[in-house]
Amino acid sequence: MANLANYIVPVFVLGIILYAFHKKVNIYESFLVGAKEGIVTTFKIAPAVIAMVFATNIFLNSHFLEFVFSYFQPLLTSLGIPIQILPMAMIRPISGTATLAIMTNIFQNYGPDSFVGRLASNLQGCTDTTIYVLALYFGSIKVTKTKHALQAGLFADLVGIISAFIITWLFFG
């Protein structure tokens, strides 16, 4: 399956190019037009990305989250939820790289086939970096009034975290 996954991108790219060739599109010109747009987009999102990374760095390095979840520890332990998953679940909406680092750490220390390893795998798959994506996407088009977007995103994350735990427990518990 993982080998098969290697084919996705090349097949996708080849398919697009061959189809365009068949339709007699000026492929090279099209690519240049699009690529230029990509550069423009990068500049457009730059302020939002820099702003978010700046704030995220300060927040994550303050270890405020660790402080908060030290209070939740007894509750989680009594529910049978492995404590190691909490940092990952809380950082997940903020930073993708930080989450991957924690997951790698869990794999290293407990193995990918442990309960917490499987839980981490499922958690990674079912949620995304909600706050970062919102800041990036809305920042790129300068939308500041985001209405209920954040609440909906975080609500979905919370449901995702809970269902990941229940599903892992049902399937592998």
Q: Scanning residues 135 to 154, which ones bind other proteins (CB under 8 A)?
A: 135-153
Comparison of 69 and 138: residue with beta carbon closer to other proteins: 138
Nearer to other proteins, 25 or 78 (CB): 25
DSSP 58-74: HHHHTTHHHHHHHHHHH
Among 10, 39, 78, 79, binds other proteins (CB under 8 A): 39
When the beta carbons of 59 and 83 are compared against other proteins, the nearer one is 59
Which part of the chain contacts other proteins (CB under 8 A), choosing from 30-38, 72-80, 83-91? 30-38
Site string for other proteins, 74-113 (x = CB under 8 A): -------------------x--x---x--xx--xx--xxx
Question: For residue 70, how far is the Cα from the chain centroid?
Answer: 24
Which own/partner pairs from 12-15 qualify as long-range (CB within 8 Å, at least 24 positions apart)?
none
Rounded Cα distance between 142 and 151, Å, is 19
171 near other proteins, rule: CB under 8 A: yes
* Distance (Å, whole) CA 74 – CA 52: 32
**Minimum distance from residue 75 beta carbon to other proteins (Å):** 22
CA distance 134 to 48: 10
Quick one: which of 33, 70, 72, 73 contacts other proteins (CB under 8 A)? Answer: 33
Window contacting other proteins (CB under 8 A); options: 34-42, 69-77, 82-90: 34-42
- Name which of residues 119 to 138 contact other proteins (CB under 8 A): 121-131, 133-138
DSSP code for 29: H
- Smallest separation, CB 78 to other proteins (Å): 23
Phi, psi of 95 (to 5 degrees): -140, 125
SS3 state at 80: coil
**114 secondary structure, DSSP code:** S
